[in-house]
Homo-oligomer: A and B are copies of this chain.
Amino acid sequence: MGLTIGVDIGGTKVAAGVVDEAGNILETSKVPTPQTTEGVIDAIADAVRTASAAHRVEAVGIGAPGYVDDKRATVLFTPNLTWRHEPLKDLVEQRVGLPVVIENDANAAAWGEYRFGAGQGHDDVICITLGTGLGGGIIIGGKLYRGRFGVAAEFGHIRMVPDGLLCGCGNQGCWEQYASGSALVRYARQRAAASPDAATLLLGLGDGTPAGVQGKHISQAARAGDPVAIDSFRELARWAGAGLADLASLFDPAAFIVGGGVSDEGELVLEPIRKSYRRWLVGAQWRPQAQVLAAQLGGKAGLVGAADLARQG
């Protein structure tokens, strides 16, 4: 098969791109995420039409936020959009006249990293994405692992703290409440409120108040040596690494790949995650240990992964 289109339906934008079999993106487009299902399908159809004018595309892969069923056809549930049992595959196929594959967006990103990014050369990798929440995907034996009903790898919602923080999912103590970009901001704001004197640099990057601290400020402050920002990254890493140790006990992969906006900070966050991971890894001295690698594709992983899943059919 030749070229395929990858689509990434995000919370704020729908990105689409023409991707070749080596994972290169030949052309991309991006529109704000419409509020209705029809709007989203229109946006996808538009992107496919535009791309088809310049390229010969043979299939469409779509990364959607939420649960996707075992047939990769129906979106069972999206937390942010209002889709409930939405037959997205059929709806899009009818519009674009090409074979369509639907996949959970974090799964698609994991597949992208496995095929063309940090996962190359490993057949058993687990990817976690530290963005607003915490998502991820599992590759076992060179295949995307989807579970019996299509909803495996919902990493963000394993319970890290009994009776812990409320999560949007209705439970308490979910991993993503402790290891995600949102958690990082919370850590920094709490610490800046408790120790404003130590957080002068961090606070100065925002509006001077803890509530004004944003993720980008924390990164910038941490690189400049701000102790509160560094401590916030360390706290995030403490929880991220502990969760990776749990995943190692369960999945025993060859490698973990850490992606998402938080991971853009590179070793600033990767190194403390590795340290925490090794701290909590059970039986560390008696077992070969999975590596903890930085993702390589950045925000393109989902689009590229979706396109490649469409190619594989």
Contact = CB atoms under 8 A, between A and B. Distances in A.
A154 B249 contact: yes
Contact of A164 (B163, B252, B282, B287): B163
Nearest to A255: B148
B252 A150 contact: yes
Interface in A173-205: 173-174, 178, 190-191, 193-195
A157 interface: yes
A212 to B, nearest CB: 15
Given A161-B164, A162-B160, A164-B165, A195 B279 contact: yes
Give the oligomeric copy count: 4
Contacts of A249: 154-155, 157-158
Nearest to A247: B250
Nearest to A279: B194
Interface string A107-131: 0000000000000001110000000
Nearest to A76: B286
Contacts of A173: 163
A253 interface: yes
A241 to B, nearest CB: 11
A245 interface: yes
A203 to B, nearest CB: 14
A284 B154 CA distance: 13
A172 B171 CA distance: 16
30 contacts: A67-B286, A76-B286, A76-B287, A146-B252, A148-B253, A148-B254, A148-B288, A148-B290, A149-B288, A151-B283, A154-B283, A155-B249, A158-B249, A160-B162, A161-B161, A161-B162, A161-B163, A162-B242, A163-B164, A163-B165, A163-B178, A166-B166, A169-B282, A170-B190, A170-B193, A174-B282, A194-B278, A194-B280, A195-B275, A250-B250
